[in-house]
Amino acid sequence: MGKYKDRDTSGWAQTSAGAVTYNATFRLNKTITSISGASSSSKQDVKVTLNTNTGNYDVYEKNVLGDTLIYQYNASNNKTVIKNESFFGSFFAGDSGRTSQLRNINLGARESNLALIDKNATTDVQRNNYINITSYEGYRPLEDNTSTAAPDRTEDDQENVAPANSNNTGVEDPNDSTNVDDAVSTAERLTLVPETDFREPVANRGLVLRYPKEIPDLGYDFIRITAYNYVTSGLPSLSNQRTQSASRVLTDPLETVILPMQPNLSTSQSVDWGGDKLDALKGSLAQAAEGAITTLSEFDAAGLAKVVQDAAGNFKKALEDSGTKQALIAYFAGQAAGANIQGRTTGQVLNPNLELLFTGPRMRTFQFNFVFTPRDEDEAITVRKIIKTFKRNFSPQRSTSGLFLKTPRVFQIEYIFDDSETSNHPFLNKIKPCAMTSFNVNYTPDGSYSTFPDGSMTSYAISMSFGELQPIYADEYDNSDDMGF
């Protein structure tokens, strides 16, 4: 029917049997900006998901722990909506090499979409779908045998959450398979990696669910809980240890639930301290080892000899005292026999120098309990959506094959003051991004089964447990007029 019917689409794979969506992978150049601001270029896989019913497609950066949506193309209005400005800039903005990558992705996706639609068009409805899609502004030039330009960026979508990266100055690779002269054949080299394709759950970005639904406009405080896609922290190093912030996950907001304040709001902070022993013998050995390591790292042979000589001298001096000598002999005999020979023979033990030492921080946990009593049909539907939203975002996501599980979504919990929508409560604690560790629903909290005529329960009770992703540090308490963490 169309001129792309014989195009090779072997690189595209259906997401599931009978599905109208197909996935394939491009390998593109990506600009990476280090902490110091230096830029470098590396190869990175980008997944394109086509919809043969609509002509739409989504572009993701592939990652073994989950894909990040970069931008979406809507064929009906020929609009491109950028979902992650930072990722978009690292792949598609900057020099001519980056912009040619964008042109090649879009051209390859649209031509392959037409080919897949054409090959599968066995009914009149499917043939009419092909005709309908080729009439769209973004597809029409392909049938007219002219090229398409890369779609313009728009500000139509309010879900763009990251600022554009203005430092994308990566150099075009002359050997890159996606250069501008080869745009029409990009799809032939696509490969599918199904084990890293995750079944994307429903994500109602920007949806706000509020209970109670109707509240008098008198000013009130509330709890706001927003779901976010989890973002990995990467491996820590000596150079970037302080940059590992839990706020990294606050880049892709999904649904927001607004709930009333609770009667029991509290925090409990603790750190780990533990007893540690270091007797004089172990201290001497540690001191000798420390000196040896230092001299070895500095390639100081003379210094190493002196360390060994000093250690031997210290032990020799200790053995010159008859009491100390007897105690040391008993101590080493006890170490060899695995028994307290020293205590049995001398009635004494080495001073362990026991001291309570700091061993690390602990994570805070939070528990919330809410009771919902819907007052009308609309509020009952809202309560159902709230419970379902928490359940979905709390649950792990499966890869297409089921071999991998993706980290569940995480949550930002905020105490909002005086219905301001933006102001954190100045006299309640702040909370870092949290993982939900448990979610429980009681559908009959009143002790009996009771429903409204439409089947909605007359009351629901939910309990949620959260754990902060990172501990609290002293330098995070500043001089601002709030309670801090």
Span 83-120, pLDDT tens digits: 888 888 888 877 666 778 888 889 889 988 888 888 88
The token duo for 320 is 């010159």
The pLDDT value given to residue 193: 38
- Distance between CA 321 and CA 460 in Å, rounded? 78
Look at the alpha carbons of 211, 212, 213, 215 in this order and tell me if their dihedral is positive or negative: negative
The pLDDT value given to residue 388: 93
Q: Which residues of the chain have pLDDT under 70?
A: 1-2, 33-38, 64-65, 95-97, 144-204, 215-219, 236-247, 281, 288-328, 334, 338, 342-344, 419-422
The pLDDT value given to residue 169: 27
Instruction: Decide: 461 and 369 in contact? Cβ < 8 Å.
Output: yes
Q: Which helix (H) or strand (E) holds 85?
A: helix 85-92
According to DSSP H, which parts of 298-409 are helical?
301-319, 322-337, 341-346, 377-394
The pLDDT value given to residue 345: 72
The pLDDT value given to residue 182: 35
Instruction: Decide: 64 and 51 in contact? Cβ < 8 Å.
Output: no
Q: Give the residue from 467, 466, 447, 444 showing the smallest Cα distance to 456.
A: 444
Burial 413-431 (b: 16+ CB within 10 A, else e): bbbbbeeeeeebbeebbbb
Per-residue pLDDT reduced to its tens digit, 347-373: 777 778 889 989 889 999 999 999 999
Residue 263 DSSP one-character state: S
What's the whole-model pTM score?
0.53
The pLDDT value given to residue 151: 38
- Distance between CA 285 and CA 318 in Å, rounded? 14
Long-range contacts of 262-271 (CB under 8 A, 24+ apart): 262/223, 262/368, 262/369, 262/370, 265/415, 265/428, 267/364, 267/366, 267/429, 268/364, 268/365, 269/362, 269/364, 269/472, 270/362, 271/358, 271/360, 271/361, 271/362
